[in-house]
Every structure is written in C-alpha cells, then in structure tokens.
Structure 1
Amino acid sequence: MGTSSAAATASSAGGSPAVDTLALAISPCPNDTFAFHALIHGLVPAAPAVSTTFADIDVLNARAAQGLDDLVKVSYAALPWLLDKYSLLSAGSALGRGCGPLVLTAGRTDLRGASVVIPGTRTTAYLLFRLWAEKLGIGSIEVLPFDQIMPAVRDGRFDAGLVIHESRFTYPSYGLTAVADLGDWWEGHTGLPIPLGGILGRRGLDPAALSEMVRASVAAAFADRSASASFVIEHAQEMAPDVVNAHIELYVNDFSLDLGDEGMAAVGELLGRAVAAGLVPALPPGSLDTWPPRI
C-alpha cells in the first residue's frame, strides 16, 4: 500500500488526491529540489501534506518497483517495469537538449573490453549506453551511486564511467575526459530531446490532480527562483552555487511543466528502440492512456 496515511482512492471530481499525506520520493539533485520545493513546503493550494524521501535514482527506481510511494521520480528506462503500479504524469519530467549522460575515462579512448561503472541498470543513462555501445565489445559493468563514479574512474578502479547530473560540469576537476556525449548521439540520430526522468503517480490516485499539483510546484519555482534557494543548496551535496544554477537551467524547462507531443514522442522513441533491441519488455497496450491530456 505504500506510505500514504489514507486509502489511495481516486478523486473523480479532480482537485486534491484522496490521501491525507502524499508519499513523495525524489532525488536530492537541484532540479528535483527546485521543482518540488513548493509542493514539499505546503505552498501548492489544495495539495495534501507531503512526506518526502530523498534517494539516488537507482534507489528511486527500486522503490517504484516495490510500489512504496504515491509520487516518485524514475528513469524513463524503467517505465516498462512500473506501469502496472503507476501512471506517467504530464508534469515534472526531466527532458532536454545538451543534457545527456557522458562516458568518461582517465585518458583511455578504446572501450573494447573496458570495465565500466554505471549509476544503475534501469537508468536511462545505461539504456542509452547500451544502444550506443551495442557493437563496441564492452567488458564488465558495475553499479555505484552516481556521486561515486568519477572518483572511482579517477582512482583507476574502472576504465570508464557513465555519469549524469552535475557531473557534466565537474568532471574536468577529476582529470577525466569525455569520450562520448550520449545526448549528442541521441539528438543526432532522432532529432528529439533526451528523455531522462519522469514523475509517476500511484494508480488509484487521480493522475490529473497529481499532475496539476506538480505543474503548480514547477511554476512556483520559476516564478520565484529565490524561494527555493536555501532548500536546494541544503540538499546539493556541497555543490558550488554556479554548478547548482547550471544544473537547474539544464534539467528544469518547459518539458517539466508539460511533456507535450514532442516529449511523448521522445519517450516513445527511446522505449521503441529499446524494445526493438531486446533491452526492455514492450509496454502493455494502453499503459500510458491514463496520464492527463496535454496542455
């Protein structure tokens, strides 16, 4: 049943979902804390109280697989395993251009037989990596929390690392080199934005009400960027302010307010390619039908 304190029943009239306390799970990264600050702090009208869990994306994907939360940030690559329990919401997503995962090394350029450390096996980053590296003959794959990947590659524990989030801005300080930008690769092959992460709402709750709450929270963040500043910094893992701001600018945008046709096309393209390559199961028919109409 998860951690909400009331029955997760749908609200046929819209408005606030029928829970006393909404169990939310997001990452501590600036894009999530910026976007969800208003919802977490009771600044979204008619929204219930929120109980928040902060976790690494691999942990968030695992929590969603267990159905632990009412509202949860996940990798788009994990959707095929989650849509029996959750609906994809139209607001809160992280999509964009120039924001894809990077493949980093300490100087190595040939990845044949390389040991690679990744942030999770059901992350969008790893799905893109598998599509990109299909014929490269990669060696071993291991998982670490994303904030441990660059130190591990720098220290010679692995030949290469797949990085996400603020690592785009900080990897040179670790003496590392980007040998591939998977966002550039994706955009060059599809012309679409890269679909990184989305927000899911528990089935049985009103997806329209959940989406509108998330949309209102994102809109509030854009309307007064200073309101969330101390909260974002508190969770930013000692990130420099300029990196925090760059992170938010890169990952919170119009797609965070509404996926729209282009956003949904990007999600469909990613999962369609993954299904064709045998990397994920096919989406059940109609599994995305319950998310609210696009604005």
Structure 2
Amino acid sequence: MKKTSLQAPAFALVNGELVPWEDARLHVSCEAVNRGLSVFEGIKGYWHLDGSFGILALPQHYYRLCQSARLLHIPFPWTLEEFESCVVTLTKSLLTPENDLWIRATLFVVEGHWGENTRADLIMTAYQSGKQLQSSIKLGISAWQRSSDNALSYRIKSAANYQVARLARIEGRARQCEEMILLNQWGRVAEATGAAVLIVRNGALLTPSSAEGALESITIDIIEVVANSLGVKFVRRPVDRTELLVADELCICGTLAELIPVEKVDEYMFDSNRPVLETLRDKFNDIVRGVCEDDGVHITKLAF
C-alpha cells in the first residue's frame, strides 16, 4: 500500500493571526495534550473552471464545529463571520494553481482543569489536495466497534473519537485494505473510519442515519440534495452488515474523500459498472467545480 506523506505548509492561523507553520504550538501540559480535548472540522476548497475558487459548505462546517464544542463544554466565541474570515485568510496565503485545498479548523483546549475555566485556541492549518478524482478502493469490515452515543458520541467530531478509527486503519493495512467499516453495538453499519457509507440497492441510495453511529455528515447532506435533483431516491435507515455485501453499488463519501467507489469489501467483489454512483459523482463534481449551481449547496467564492 502507498505510504502517506505529510505536508508542512508555510503558514498556520492561530486565533485569527497568520503565523509561520513551526510557530503553531501547544504546551505539553495543556488539556488538548493531556486529555485529547479538541474538536475539529475539515473544509474543502475547489478551483472552478472559470478560474475562481470556492469553499464548499463553510457555514455548515462552522455550525457543526459549534455543536462539537458545545457537547464537550468547550467555549467557542468566534462568530460565523470571524470564522469565515480566518478560513479565507489562510486559504489565500496557501493557494497554488495546481491544487485544491483542505482546511482543518481545530479548537485545542489550552487552559482549564476537568471542565473548569476552560479556554481553547482556534488553530487552522491547510493542505494541498490534488484535483484528480480518486480511484476505487478496497474496504474491510473491522473488528473494532463504533462508540455509542452515551459513551463518546459520534456527533462530536473530536480527535478522541478517531482512536478506534486509527486502530481499524492499522487492522486494515494488515489486510491490504485502504479503508475500514465500523459496525455499531447492534452489529449494523455505522460508517467508515473517515467517511460515510453510501450504497445502491434497486436504484435507490441508502445510508445509515446518525442514530446508527454515523457522524452527521455534511457531504451526505449535499449528496441528498444532488440525488433529489437527479430524481434518485435517497433513504437514511439502518443498514445490516450483509446488506452492505449484497449492494449493487457502494462508495464512501466525505469532505476529503468526496465520493470514492468501492471495488471490494473483504472477499466480496463489486461490479465495476456503477451507473447510479457515476452519475451522482459527475454531478457533485460539476457543482463543486462551478460548472453548474444548485440552490441547496452553499459555496463561498473568494474574491482576488
């Protein structure tokens, strides 16, 4: 399997201030280090075919970050306008014409003790992302389980919530799988380690609801809008493990993943002909590239 290479951008943004990458630091004694207390969002920006640049679903990512912070009792005083200004500032400082950009906005708890006097720094980093569509991948079904809502809620997009995902990815590499599926406490499909799961059965799109242990996916919401515009039935409901294996088509989807088709789950192969998902993927790509518009998809255009 391909080894991941890590990027070191020129700049990061700390509480609204652009700083050199190496100066974006946390103290070893802070809560983010000692207790893993942080919440984050990944936000994708795309070059449009007319030469402009658009950031996808920025308000939705802001409000989901607010939700994660609220559930972990982390103060988040930044307004949407301030947050957007930070994203735009960092984006403009790191844009290159060859690549799109993936922005990670993280609230790191830097002060406080067991929930008292809590204060967090808003630190944004951003990474170059290729424009090409990703090829199909191999999935496995992990032995590790998605946490339940009353353990560590899957509605919290927190670094701590990705510990099980990390273990599942390590398990997957030993099985030559690029991604892994996490099941919930009832043995049904929750999500992949870093993306939502979308299947096609009898021409309809199916995905587990958030009550099944899936993050409340912004990309899934966008895909539902796109599916409706194409006249494709879209249903959120429980998905059994075996239903995953007998799907007509299968993909994973998320902010960074977008829509990646799946060619194999464990020993089960899927047909390379994916008429529903390919149509959906093409329309999604046209929207984020500015080829066409959809009133249900929010894109923040940058002025240069």
TM-score class, shorter? 0.3 to 0.5
TM-score (norm 1): 0.33
- Report the structure, 1 or 2, having the larger helix content: 1
TM-score (norm 2): 0.33
- Report the structure, 1 or 2, having the larger strand content: 2
